[in-house]
Chain A
Amino acid sequence: MSLTDLRDELTARLGRDGLVTDPAHLRTYECDALTGYRVVPALVALPRDAAEVAAAVAACAKHRVPFVARGAGTGLSGGALPVADGVVISLQRLRRVVEVDPVDRRATVEPGVTNLDISRAAAKYGLYYSPDPSSQQVCTIGGNVAENSGGAHCLKYGFTVNHILAVDVVLPDGTATRLGGDAPHQAGFDLLGAFVGTEGTLGIVTSVVVRLLHTPATVRTLVANFDSTKEAGDAVTAVIAAGIVPAAIEMMDNLAIQAVNAAVDAGFDPDTAAALIVELDGPADEVEARFADLTRLCAKATGVTIARDAEHRAKIWQGRKAAFAAVGRLSPNYFVQDGVVPRTRLGEALTRIAEMGDEAGIQVANVFHAGDGNLHPLVLYSEERGEHERAEALSTAIAELCVELGGSLSGEHGIGTDKACSMPRMFSADDLDTMRRLRAAFDPEGLCNPGKVFPTPRLCGERPGPYRPHPLEAAGVIERL
């Protein structure tokens, strides 16, 4: 491996303005939105098109230098953390909307296009791109593909993987291929489905074909206040059990509401213990009938506000989507967790998290996708007061609690660097080895975003965490052979 040779080769191929080599400038790439992990890369490549991405990857492969793809750097799990002595390949210059096809209801875009810009480009046809991560104004579709991003409205409409028809990929040896096709039917294995959500470890996407949906005929949104997060959680369970599939059900606890109210005038009741945002969409009469059921199921609510119009609804969502950033007003530092629990165990999970926070002497705010059990506990701490380690331990314990309750370490933020060491809590060595077989098929040299997703001795210490039986195993639901 020779970085000097690689730099010369990349300069020749991408030009001087296609490469970042200045140490101060390189530092701006040292982390993504998980800022606790920082590594300055040796070089940053700024390709302009798919051919330049392929050339950059081929050069890295030739010199056996690891590389990490990067979109907007909004990832919350350290998935775009650079590798020391490695290259970051930024997709920020690939930001063309290549085609919006209203007849076949799809758009072809480059990976650096933001999530929201796809919907903006489709809006004149009454179409939109459905998955809506809270960072959708800035996060890129390439990053969404890497992380299989979710969002508030994925409960009814599904996640990124359900909305991608095809991707052009530069494989880790520099060759280009296409996964997927013109329709969901693929001749062969579902390599597209297997690829989406692999956190940039199998290749770099240079073009994405997304499905577009017609905007719904009617949307109705309510905010219901509850005396406790448990009562709000019970209401979520009741709504789901009644056979209603809302477009979204979100929950915020009092701490999160306080933060949001300080940042955005969204009109949330500052005194309520918990608030649910529930949205139904679809044909008008369907929505009206279900909305009546919904208000009945929120009988224990201490107050219900129904969005008056589109503007009011937008305000509510602006408040919800600003929650992570707003929490910065409550606390100088915080960790965001992303664990998932079965929907029927929401109340239990919230109670346990509150207890764990009390024990650690650390505040935890909750704002999350209640409908699919995807928690986002915000662990609030102060670096200055030396709380970092305690907060990090609490944050990890919360993620592992979700596994213990029969859920998952991550619903949408990814494993990345952040949760790689917790993977043995959820998966056996055989599970992880089998996943590594897929990785090896795509990237036998292990150059593409190494050190992410899978626990490594370097990251996690020589010994992985002790094996503990999965709760479903303890309950006899699954067997460990």
Chain B
Amino acid sequence: MRPVSLAELRDAVRDTDGTLLVMGAGTAEGWAGAPDPTDHVLETTGLTGVIAYNPADMTVAVRAGTPLTTLQQELADAGQRICLDPARTEATIGGLVATADSGPLRHAYGGPRDLLIGVTVVLADGTVARSGGHVIKNVAGYDLGKLLCGSFGTLGVIAEVVLRAHPLPPASRTVSILCDAAEAVTHTGLVLEARLEPAALEWCDGELLALYEGVESSVERRATATPGGTTLSVADAEAAWRRVTAVSDRDLVVRCGTRPSQLAVVAKHATSMTSSAAVGVHTLGVTDVDGLRAEFPQVTVLRSPPGIQAWGEPHAAVPLMRAVKQRFDPDGRLGPGRYRPWF
């Protein structure tokens, strides 16, 4: 099924029986546990395009099947962007929300949950529900958008999202500090204490990258002022950031959240790793997921070969996740197999 409007999507969910797999661009199909075969596959790639964009308000409402790159091009014409830079650039906006995916800009801007200000979702019984709205500050009602972040298509079908946009920076610089994982923690502290305000601070396989964004004179000065750093040429910077995204191409890739100071301990488990060093969010290639999970419980398996169990021991909040799933999708229609063995 490939609906092209909210009404068609609602009908597709409401007027069919059986299990449903929600699929965007398919770039994260195996994440969080391979889905079981379902009665239907619901593709969201027909739900595309901007619904409302007023640059002066710096908010944009977009259909969930819109690829991030398409949206970014549209916003760039108005000098704006969504501060979300996942490795999967071809992914859809809805897919990025459902997977809670993000990239190095999480250092300054957080992830989808921090940029999402409104959502429209179709529940397993065909109910269409909205929460949030079109303004950046809003505490009216529960924030269902955040609940859907990391739901991997198991709670509802994300139909539309409203996002906060930011201005495109006039200039940027990338600085490289060659250091091992343990030194990265020290260097991270130095950059932060120097109040250099990087937009990203990412350690990737022996190199700490500081991204500065802002006015030309300031980014140049901050780049030069970075302790132990070398400013990269445009080409070298692009290559460095490509190495960051390339970590996600490994056969078995996980994302893990820890205290930032644990970076070097996490790195011991990695065949290749990129970390938002001040945030404590690591994306790494591993050979032994269980070994990592034994030390750090907050692990999500992204890409994996068959036979890898996506989730470890249920953590304290898993009973609540089950209770939420029960209320939103009591018959288990959506994404069966995801979150196994928790669901």
Contacts and interface: CB of A to CB of B under 8 A. Distances in A.
Interface of A: 103-105, 126, 147-148, 150, 154, 158-159, 161-162, 171, 177-179, 181-191, 193-194, 196-198, 214-217, 237, 240-241, 243-245, 282-283, 285-286, 289-290, 340-344, 369, 372-374, 406-415, 419, 423, 426-428, 430-435, 437-442, 453, 472, 477-479, 481
A198 to B, nearest CB: 6
B151 interface: yes
Contacts of A159: 137
Contacts of B123: 434
Contact of B260 (A179, A183, A372): A183
Interface stretch (B35-43, B174-182, B191-199, B244-252): B191-199
Contact of A104 (B155, B167, B261): B261
Contact of B127 (A162, A184, A414, A433): A433
Contact of B56 (A147, A217, A343, A453): A343
B324 A441 contact: yes
B258 A183 contact: yes
A203 B110 CA distance: 25
A294 to B, nearest CB: 13
Contacts of B136: 372-373
A104 B320 CA distance: 28
B192 A430 contact: no
A412 B326 CA distance: 30
Q: Determine the interface band of chain B, counting residues with CB < 8 A from chain A.
A: 35 or more
A126 B317 contact: no
Contact of B195 (A283, A344, A442): A283
B6 A103 contact: no
Given A105-B260, A194-B142, A286-B215, 12 more contacts: A103-B185, A184-B111, A184-B257, A185-B100, A189-B150, A189-B155, A408-B139, A427-B141, A431-B130, A437-B328, A441-B327, A472-B52
18 contacts: A181-B257, A185-B281, A187-B257, A187-B299, A188-B318, A190-B100, A190-B113, A190-B150, A214-B193, A217-B195, A283-B218, A373-B136, A409-B140, A410-B138, A411-B138, A453-B142, A477-B61, A479-B7
B71 to A, nearest CB: 17
Chain A interface main SS type:
loop
A105 B278 contact: yes
A104 B339 CA distance: 30
A82 to B, nearest CB: 22
B3 to A, nearest CB: 12
Contacts of A240: 56, 58
A106 to B, nearest CB: 8
B257 A430 contact: no
Contacts of A243: 79, 167-168, 170
A290 B218 CA distance: 11
B260 A104 contact: yes
A190 B255 CA distance: 15
Given A243-B79, A415-B140, A286 B113 contact: no
B134 interface: yes
Interface string B307-343: 0000100011111110110111000000000010010
B192 to A, nearest CB: 5
Contacts of B129: 428, 430-431, 433-435
Q: Which one of A179, A244, A289 has the greatest number of beta carbons of chain B within 10 Å?
A: A289
Contacts of B134: 342, 406-407, 472
A431 B168 CA distance: 34
Contacts of A432: 141
Interface string B26-63: 00000000000000000000000001101111110100
A369 B160 CA distance: 28
Given A283-B195, A286-B218, A344-B57, A177 B316 contact: yes
A286 B220 CA distance: 11
A474 to B, nearest CB: 13
A408 B51 contact: no
Contacts of A150: 137, 139
B324 A435 contact: no
A189 B58 CA distance: 27
B135 interface: yes
Given A105-B278, A478-B120, A438 B147 contact: yes
B166 A186 contact: no
Nearest to A415: B140
Given A185-B281, A190-B113, A283-B222, A407 B135 contact: yes
A181 to B, nearest CB: 5
Contacts of B215: 285-286, 289-290
A148 B315 contact: no
Contacts of A190: 100, 113, 146-150
A461 to B, nearest CB: 20
B114 interface: yes
Contact of B147 (A189, A411, A423, A472): A189
A162 B222 contact: no
Contacts of B138: 340, 407-408, 410-411
Given A183-B281, A372-B137, A441-B326, A194 B56 contact: no
Contacts of A430: 127-129
Contacts of B218: 283, 285-286, 289
A5 to B, nearest CB: 28
Contacts of B86: none
B135 A373 contact: yes
A154 B138 CA distance: 12
Contact of B141 (A188, A196, A241, A431): A431
Nearest to A340: B135
B33 to A, nearest CB: 12
A285 B215 CA distance: 8
Contacts of B130: 427-428, 431, 478
Contacts of A423: 140-141
Contact of A237 (B56, B113, B170, B321): B56
Interface string B79-114: 100000000000000000000100000100011011
A479 B7 CA distance: 9
Complex A-B, nearest 4 residue pairs according to Cβ-Cβ distance, in ascending order: A193-B146, A183-B257, A185-B257, A243-B167
B209 interface: no
Contact of A481 (B6, B262, B278, B323): B6
Contacts of A442: 320, 323
A179 to B, nearest CB: 6
A193 B142 CA distance: 10
Contacts of A406: 133-135
Contact of A188 (B6, B142, B315): B315
Contacts of B59: 342
A189 B149 contact: yes
B327 A177 contact: no
